[in-house]
Amino acid sequence: MVAVSQNYTKNEWKFSEIIADPTVRARWEKVRRYFFLRESTYDMTNRCNIRCEGCYYYEGAKQFAIENRNMGAWRRLMDDEKQRGITYVVLAGAEPSLVPELCAICFQAIPLGAIATNGLKVIPKSVNYKIHISVWGNDETSLKTRNAEHMLARQIKNYRDDARAVFVYTFTRNNVAEAYEVTQTLAENKCRMTFNVFSSPVRYEGCLRHTEESLRQTGYTMAELMSIYPDTVIFSPYNIVAHTHPLSLHGLYSCSYPRMNPSADIGLGRSFRQYRTDLTWDRSASCCVPDTDCADCRHYAAGSAVVTARLFRHACDPDTFKAWLDYVDTYLSVWVMDYEKGANLCDGPVQPPGDWARDIRG
């Protein structure tokens, strides 16, 4: 995707000038109300009811942790997390819907959060977190890569008309074209969706790993789907730039998760933990998608924190700041219950700010 030329020739913009535009100021005030969100993630169980190629959960040591299913232990953990200042939980690996009683304990203690699920088993409505349902292509592809039949139909049956649900279409190298039929099906069923980009686990060199060409195709497809299905797709032009760039999120923005960030003084480096199913955590492995190859990480969950954290560098001119606002508005809509996304402020892509261009040139 080719970036639009910047509309502004001025070298230095004051922040007060950038937010002088009433539309920009309103969006800034809207998103900054959520700066209090401080996340951690939790593997809920070692088990899953399907087995997908390229699944990051079944890489590395975390899959061998001994499951703790003691409800008292989980309640204590959540109380401690709250004391530590955690205001947002992400319940992930391997398949949280298999332990709904633990999800309920998390919700009782910390009422803001999201659950990453394959959507084949309904999570009780009393757990009022966002539910992210993973979609990896059409049913034929799902059968091949996830060994599950009629996956999309079953996911839709379980989560149609559920305000918690966001379907997350993961673009791999092989399923770019299928996104059209999947999005159409989701639109016909009045489901909301967002996009993810397959990010290889460490040492993975399989057929799902993106190439520059597949990333380019993914970007075009995302833009087209946003345009055809504006009421279905929750995304922005800047999301496309950030997640289909030849450089990974770490390459573009310098990842702020503990795994890549040695500072434990402030921000994610200080508060973020990724708990295994035995309720232990390891700083050196802590990020939202552990065991993902950082040089290939374009994961939507990672971007939500990594791009958002780079407020200062995006406040360099009106276009770049609007792009950042679109990104944050998108992320909040995908991750926070009852948060409604506004219209994108940028019509087209804007290049990410920072040192990446200089680094590429050497």
Partner 1 sequence: MSDEIILRIAQMMIDELKLEDVTAETFDPDIDLIDEVGIDSMDLATIALIIRDEYGIRIDEDDYPKLTTIRLISRYIEEKLKTAQENN
Residues that bind partner 1 (CB under 8 A): 14-16, 32, 35-36, 38, 85, 256, 263, 265-268, 270-271, 308-313, 315
- How far is 351 from 328, CA to CA, in rounded Å? 16
Q: Is 128 helix (H, G, I), strand (E, B) or coil?
A: coil
Q: Which residue's CB is nearer to partner 1, number 43 or number 329?
A: 329
**Shortest distance, position 152 Cβ to partner 1, whole Å:** 37
Q: Which two tokens stand for residue 86?
A: 């955690």
Q: Which residue's CB is nearer to partner 1, number 285 or number 311?
A: 311
**Shortest distance, position 255 Cβ to partner 1, whole Å:** 12
CB 159 within 8 A of CB 140: no
**Shortest distance, position 339 Cβ to partner 1, whole Å:** 16
Q: Which residue's CB is nearer to partner 1, number 63 or number 304?
A: 304
Q: What is the DSSP letter of 139?
A: H
Handedness of CA 5, 310, 328, 91 (dihedral sign): positive
- Residue 134's φ and ψ, nearest 5 degrees, are -80, 130
Give me the half-sphere count of Cα atoms (radius 13 Å) on the Cβ side of residue 301.
24
**Shortest distance, position 262 Cβ to partner 1, whole Å:** 10
Q: Which residue's CB is nearer to partner 1, number 86 or number 99?
A: 86
Q: Which residue's CB is nearer to partner 1, number 80 or number 212?
A: 80
Determine if residue 314 is left, alpha or beta; phi over 0 gives left, psi from -120 to 50 gives alpha, anything else beta. alpha
**Shortest distance, position 210 Cβ to partner 1, whole Å:** 28
Nearest CA-CA partner of 173 in 203, 142, 213: 213
Q: Which residue's CB is nearer to partner 1, number 253 or number 275?
A: 253
How many CB atoms neighbour CB 241 within 10 A? Answer: 22
- Cβ-proximal residues to 225 (8 Å cutoff; 6+ apart), any chain: 179, 180, 183, 233
**Shortest distance, position 35 Cβ to partner 1, whole Å:** 4
Q: Which two tokens stand for residue 81?
A: 């997390």
